[in-house]
Amino acid sequence: MSLQRARDLDRSDPLGELRGQYDIPSGTVYLDGNSLGAPLRSIPGRLAEVVSGQWAGRLIRAWPEHWWDAPVRVGERIAPLVGAAPGQVVVGDSTTVNLFKSIIAGLRIGAGRGRSELAVLGDAFPTDRYIAVSAARMMDSPITTEITERTALVLAGHVDYRTGVIADFAAITEQAHDAGAVILWDLCHSVGALPVELDAHAVDLAVGCTYKFLSGGPGAPAFVYVASALQADYDQPLTGWTGHADPFAMTEDYQAAEGVARARAGTPDMLSMLALDAALDIWDQTSIVDARAKAQQLTQFFVDCVEDLPVTVLAPDPATRGNQVSLRHPDAKDLIARLAEQDILGDFRTPDIARFGFQPLYVSFEDAWRAASALRALLST
Ligand SMILES: Cc1ncc(COP(=O)(O)O)c(C=O)c1O
Ligand SMILES: Nc1c(O)cccc1C(=O)C[C@H](N)C(=O)O
């Protein structure tokens, strides 16, 4: 794999022109967009307009005019990326908080079916496990790692944050349903990275974050998907006023809103919400199918470049590899630090994983080649 080959691939890349719309310091190779997506150049202007035009210009009137419905409106823009028909996705809070809401809601649905177990599959991201343990404690639910006829809720991650391996979405969803359980998917590393088909697989619940492949910004609000069929039964524990059927009636008792809006809790962070809204514009210029196709080419190119190095590729099969390449090496931490000294940014995940994210809308084949060459140089010294 040569620099020439990388440049040829960049020249014939139909998504290549999108890169210029992102604000990435020149000379930096950014392979950590699976942790924090790079910003679009349009964001500062859009935020300035929200602050000056809406906040300053309209003051409190901006809530009904621009802001109140934003969680649902922005959710509708994420919906096509996760294969959801309208009315099922709402944006707000963090993934952690949305996991809490949805785990409790799922366990409550399971309790109605006479079940209590919570199955947590695979090597879940820490926040998923921590919240699962706490929610299970509140619900007196045993935690298991297998789906059985006693399972109330299955929590599974779509793409493993460490290895980058894509879980068998269809098979796991089907297994959960065959067992009579509710399924909850964590889409943090798949939303905006690869096509997700929530409706097609009749998924019940999903959550995901928007600051990785969607470039929503640091701490951008997460989203929740609640399948239409389940919404009436989605009894989530954070019964804040914005999820109320009639928030401004200020009634004594809580009554959940109809539809997915019942997954809302408190006042959303509007600046972050609208930065995300602006970031989603890029999807008007491309599709998740095209993005995934390029990401597969990119990750394979990178894997081919490092093939003869003394590292282990943790997701060798391109079909089940997310948009990241994780390399196992005993000095992974040091390697990542030394790459960073050259403005080549990946990240380290304990205990020995060097992780490189390939956001195809702004990462080039030349970036992949430069990162691999720098790694080669480090490993030969
Ligand atoms: C799979 C997964 N779930 C959840 C999170 C994080 O949730 P939060 O945004 O609430 O910190 C991450 C990343 O931080 C993640 O990779
Ligand atoms: N959410 C993060 C943060 O607030 C700081 C640093 C990193 C993150 C991450 O997103 C970590 C990420 N979920 C991971 O896959 O490791």
Q: Interior CA angle at 90 toward 88 and 93, to 5°?
A: 145
The reply to whether ipTM tops 0.90 is yes
Contact 213, 159 (CB under 8 A): no
Q: At the topology level of CATH, where does 3-30+287-380 sit?
A: Aspartate Aminotransferase, domain 1 (3.90.1150)
- Please tell me the distance from the alpha carbon of residue 47 to that of residue 359, in angstroms, as a whole number: 23
Q: Which two tokens stand for residue 163?
A: 């290895």
Q: State the ligand closest to the CA atom of 100.
A: 1
Catalytic residue check, 125: yes
Of all protein residues, the one whose alpha carbon is nearest to atom 1 of ligand 2 is 35
Q: What is the pLDDT of residues 74-104, one digit of tens each?
A: 999 999 999 999 999 999 999 999 999 999 9
The strand ranges marked E within the chain are: 29-30, 89-91, 117-120, 143-144, 151-157, 182-186, 205-208, 223-226, 312-313, 324-328, 344-345, 347-349, 353-357
Mutate to test the pocket of ligand 1, among 32, 102, 161 (most ligand atoms within 8 A of CB): 161
Report residue 136's pLDDT band, with 50, 70 and 90 as the boundaries: very high
Q: Which residues line ligand 2 (CB under 6 A)?
A: 35, 161, 188
Catalytic residue among 211, 301, 302, 358: 211
Query: Is 186 one of the catalytic residues?
Result: yes
- pLDDT bucket at 46, cuts 50 / 70 / 90: very high
Q: Find out whether the beta carbon of 94 lies less than 6 Å from any atom of ligand 1.
A: yes
Q: Domain map of the chain by residue range?
A: 3-30+287-380, 47-284
Residues 6+ apart with CB under 8 A from 6: 301, 364, 365, 366, 368, 369
C-alpha to C-alpha distance for 108 and 239, rounded to whole angstroms: 14
pLDDT at 254 > cutoff 90: yes
Percent of the chain surpassing pLDDT 70 = 100
What predicted TM-score, i.e. pTM, was given to this entire model? 0.98
Determine whether 212 is an active site residue: yes
* Rounded distance from Cα 126 to ligand 1 centre (Å): 8
pLDDT (mean) for 136-149: 98
Whole-angstrom Cα distance, residue 113 to residue 151? Answer: 10
Q: Among residues 355, 365, 367, 370, which one is catalytic?
A: 355
Spatial distance between the Cα atoms of 135 and 89, rounded to a whole number of angstroms: 22
Distance 232 CA to ligand 1 centre (A): 27
Ligand 2 centroid, distance to 322 Cα (angstroms): 16
47-284: which CATH number, 3.40.50.2300, 3.90.76.10, 3.20.20.80, 3.40.640.10? 3.40.640.10
The verdict on whether 169 is a catalytic residue reads: no
Task: State pLDDT tens for residues 192-236.
Answer: 999 999 999 999 999 999 999 999 999 999 999 999 999 999 999
